Amino acid sequence: MDNRPIGFFDSGLGGLTSIPPLRRRLPEEKIIYFGDTARTPYGSKAIRTIKGFSSEIADFLVQSNVKMIVIACNTVSATCVDDLRKRFPQIPILGIIEPTARMVAAECEELNRVGIIGTKVTIASHAYSDMIKEMNPSLNIVETACPAFVPLIEEGIIDNDIMDLTIKYYMDDFVKDNELDTVILGCTHYPLIKKNLERLYPDLKIINPSDIVVNRVEEILAEGDMFADGSDFRNVFYASDLSENFLNMIDHIFEEEADDAKVKFLNFDIENELLKRI
Ligand code: DGL
């Protein structure tokens, strides 16, 4: 038994899409979430910069006494997992890509045609395709970056023709030319446009890593006998910039949660606080 909280982090609000599935599956678990909203997006930054930011945040979470870290960001998972595991060997560090790659490699077959969409950095890293192909070389996998999705989502432009046109711009030919039957949402912001994708491509199976990562969290807690069994710790959600857009998006992500389960964010002065702690 281990009543310490689980640390989650993302470049911004996308990682919050893993929180409702975690709460439904493991209601006793407590959370410290860090969204680096002041420095988002990571998905088009240099890998060296992303490594620096994620190492600062992981350091903050470790100092906050979390029992495990979930990297709820595909861009960081694609580029920094090994470095973070080396730097913080004392706790399990879970990226969001590995559990999804395992699931796809196990469940998809040669006939399936799988597409991956994500940020420029995630797609250029080939982290998903390399991992899936290593486990199941017979699969047909193609990938494409959709860099305009994140800024539109952050602006709340979702249930809207502009978003639908942007999706079609990136995906119509990608889906048709590759005859895709499955697509992986390789960015934690993309579950927020899942309904658009389902409407535009009703025959496409959509795989959401924000749901799948929760299965692996449960396995790791079981393996280490680390389940919480009830503590007074109150979930804490930090953001390095509490912009109006950000606060609006929280309501969108947590719209199906009961009012008392909704999150309240604390502003975190990243320049001063994180740097002070290193
Ligand atoms: N949430 C990030 C991811 O999953 C994308 C947002 C960003 O570019 O920072 O890759």
Kindly tell me the number of DSSP H helices and DSSP E strands found in the chain.
12, 10
- Among the atoms of ligand 1, which is closest to the Cα of residue 96? 4
Provide the residue range defining the domain that includes 201: 97-209
Measured from the CB, is residue 11 less than 6 Å from ligand 1? yes
Interior/surface letters 171-206, b for 16+ CB within 10 angstroms, e for the rest: beebbeebebbbbbbbbbbbbbbeebbeeebeebee
pLDDT band at 208 (very low <50, low <70, confident <90, very high): very high
| Residue 31 phi, psi (nearest 5) | -135, 140
- Is 42 in contact with 53 (CB distance < 8 Å)? yes
- Integer Cα distance of 146 and 187 in angstroms: 10
Is position 60 within any domain? yes
pLDDT at 278 over 50: no
pLDDT band at 231 (very low <50, low <70, confident <90, very high): confident
Is position 1 within any domain? no
Residue 109 is predicted with a pLDDT of 83
Per residue in 4-36, pLDDT (tens digit) is 999 999 998 889 889 889 988 999 999 999 999
Q: 109 with 205, same domain? A: yes
Judged by phi (left if over 0) then psi (alpha if -120 to 50, else beta), residue 263 lies in beta
Measured from the CB, is residue 18 less than 6 Å from ligand 1? no
Q: 197 with 268, same domain? A: no
Measured from the CB, is residue 74 less than 6 Å from ligand 1? yes
Query: Which residue owns the Cα nearest ligand 1 atom 6?
Result: 41
Residue 272 is predicted with a pLDDT of 60
Q: 175 with 159, same domain? A: yes
- Integer Cα distance of 59 and 14 in angstroms: 20
More confidently predicted of 275 and 62: 62
Output the average pLDDT for the chain: 90
Residue 250 is predicted with a pLDDT of 74
Is position 123 within any domain? yes
Indicate the range of 50-54, 111-115, 140-144, 172-176 predicted with least confidence.
Answer: 111-115
Is position 87 within any domain? yes
The number of distinct structural domains making up the chain is 2
Q: Enter the pTM of the model.
A: 0.91
Residue 268 is predicted with a pLDDT of 66
Q: 244 with 107, same domain? A: no
Q: 200 with 238, same domain? A: no
Choosing from 209, 224, 254, the residue where a domain stops is 209
Ligand 1 centroid from CA 72, angstroms = 9
User: Does residue 199 sit in helix, strand or coil?
Assistant: helix
